[in-house]
């Protein structure tokens, strides 16, 4: 008999991360800059243990950046709304990671389909800045030059597009210190351990714990091509389920106990293999990541990611984006033992996704993707999906 699991939406609050990858450097013009984006998705499951009906979703993104409000001061805001038929993942089809990140947030982690992220940044010098407020982690992931797509199209499968480490929720409230001493970039993030959505979050700010998340990035050039090599370490003081306690008798007082602290360590890289001499961040290359969780209470033992992508190498199509990537998540052995005691056989979740998104005009983009996922639960068949998306930005 196929085991069906019900995942609460709050699970996603532990699934997202910007993976410690460096953000793309970009200059901000003074004054306000407003953008409006509308994206529609059509995702069609072609195999697997799920309905084969097409899933139609749409989302609206309104972004405001106001630089130099005062000397060195800037504000960034992002209003999101999404609606539609939903997605496969978070238990559906036996998958942990959703197959369409952009159809998942913000609705699945909140009581409604709308959320606002707002941050304030103060640039103290050419090398040091501090940002504070509510951050959208997907925005951070999208800003990564190769993997993220810089908002111009990227991977939809969450396990590739925003690799998870279970210490960085989709929305965080806290501060970020960035120090840039070439060739090194140091980033320290301190934020509430819970997802920054809903009234309960603001009532219980920092009550459940705090996360210290640091990254050191070495920037270099190989044959004149930009490269970014990062080391990331994160510690959350939040308590998590002690998986070993789940093997005890339910009558034992220690059954379903907790354990202090969730830890993650990872290394990642992005190396351009070709870039535009006039704009080094326009190009394509190879990227990868290896991460290690503590396995208890972090449900992750190891994760691996390897891919190729960026701007199109085709002549005259540099505004297009493309990519192909593979990921694998090795879940905690202790979690697997605990689930196995209840008849649920946990296995590693692997995936391959490829996409291409064409710039039709300055404001309109059309893309498609295909993915294969080996589910996290043995009782489910492999899942495949094809998808299409249309994006308008003004």
pLDDT tens, residue by residue, 266-302: 999 999 999 998 888 899 999 999 999 999 999 999 9
Higher pLDDT, 7 or 223: 223
Question: What integer pLDDT is reported at residue 206 of this predicted model?
Answer: 94
Give residue 29's pLDDT: 66
Please write the tens of the pLDDT for every residue from 225-238.
999 999 999 999 99
DSSP 346: B
The pLDDT of residue 101 is 92
pLDDT score for 19: 45
- Report the distance separating Cα 321 and Cα 213, nearest Å: 30
Task: Specify whether the CB–CB gap between 13 and 390 falls below 8 A.
Answer: no
Q: Please determine, for residue 73, whether its predicted confidence score (pLDDT) is greater than 80.
A: yes
User: What was the pLDDT predicted at 28?
Assistant: 56
Residue 220 DSSP SS3: strand
> Does the predicted model carry a pTM greater than 0.85?
yes
Q: What is the CATH number of domain 9-393?
A: 2.40.160.180
**Which residues touch 13 (CB under 8 Å, ≥6 apart)?**
109, 169, 170, 194, 195, 197
Per-domain boundaries in the chain? 9-393
Give the confidence band of 6 by pLDDT, cuts at 50, 70, 90. Answer: very low
Q: What is the DSSP string of 10-67?
A: GGGGGT---TTPPPPP----BEEEEEEEEEEEEEEEEESSS--S-EEEEEEEEEEEEE
pLDDT at 109: 80
In sequence order, which residues have a C-beta less than 8 Å from that of residue 390 and are 6 or more positions away?
39, 40, 364, 365, 366, 367
Is residue 383's pLDDT more than 60?
Answer: yes
Q: Give 172-203 pLDDT, tens digit per residue.
A: 999 999 999 999 999 999 999 999 998 788 88
Task: Tell me what the mean pLDDT of segment 243-263 comes to.
Answer: 94
Band (390; pLDDT cuts 50, 70, 90): very high
Q: Are 209 and 239 in contact (CB under 8 A)?
A: yes
> Which of the four pLDDT bands, split at 50, 70 and 90, describes residue 5?
very low
What gap in Å lies between CA 293 and CA 62, rounded to an integer? 35
Confidence at residue 292, expressed as pLDDT on a 0 to 100 scale:
98
């Amino acid at each position: 008999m196929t085991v069906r699991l019900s995942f609460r939406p709050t699970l996603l609050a532990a699934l997202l991360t910007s993976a410690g990858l460096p953000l793309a450097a970009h200059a901000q013009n003074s004054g306000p800059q407003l953008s409006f984006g509308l994206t529609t998705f059509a995702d069609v499951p072609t195999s697997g243990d799920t309905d084969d009906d097409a899933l139609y979703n749409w989302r609206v993104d309104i972004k405001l950046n106001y630089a130099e409000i005062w000397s060195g001061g800037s504000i960034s805001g992002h209003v999101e709304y999404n609606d539609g038929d939903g997605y496969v993942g978070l238990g559906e089809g036996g998958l942990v990671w959703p197959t369409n990140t952009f159809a998942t947030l913000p609705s699945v982690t909140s009581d409604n389909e709308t959320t606002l992220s707002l941050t304030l940044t103060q640039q103290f010098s050419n090398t040091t800045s501090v940002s504070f407020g509510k951050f959208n982690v997907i925005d951070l992931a999208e800003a990564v030059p190769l993997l993220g797509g810089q908002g111009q199209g990227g991977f939809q499968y969450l396990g590739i597009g925003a690799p998870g480490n279970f210490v960085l929720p989709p929305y965080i409230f806290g501060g970020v210190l960035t120090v840039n001493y070439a060739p090194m970039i140091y980033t320290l993030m301190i934020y509430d351990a819970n997802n920054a959505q809903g009234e309960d979050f603001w009532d219980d700010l920092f009550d459940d714990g705090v996360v210290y998340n640091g990254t050191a990035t070495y920037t270099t050039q190989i044959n004149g091509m930009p490269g970014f090599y990062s080391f990331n370490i994160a510690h959350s003081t939040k308590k998590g389920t002690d998986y070993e306690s789940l093997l005890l008798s339910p009558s034992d007082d220690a059954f379903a106990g907790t354990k202090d602290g969730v830890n993650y360590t990872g290394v990642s890289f992005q190396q351009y293999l070709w870039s535009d001499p006039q704009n080094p961040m326009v190009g394509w290359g190879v990227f990868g990541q290896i991460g290690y969780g503590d396995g208890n209470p972090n449900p992750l033992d190891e994760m691996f990611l390897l891919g190729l992508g960026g701007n199109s190498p085709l002549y005259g199509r540099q505004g297009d984006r493309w990519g192909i990537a593979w990921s694998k998540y090795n879940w905690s052995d202790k979690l697997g033992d605990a689930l196995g005691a209840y008849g649920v056989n946990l296995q590693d979740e692997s995936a391959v996704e490829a996409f291409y998104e064409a710039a039709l005009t300055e404001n309109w983009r059309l893309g498609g993707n295909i993915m294969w996922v080996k589910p996290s639960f043995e009782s489910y068949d492999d899942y495949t999906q094809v998808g299409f998306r249309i994006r308008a930005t003004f």
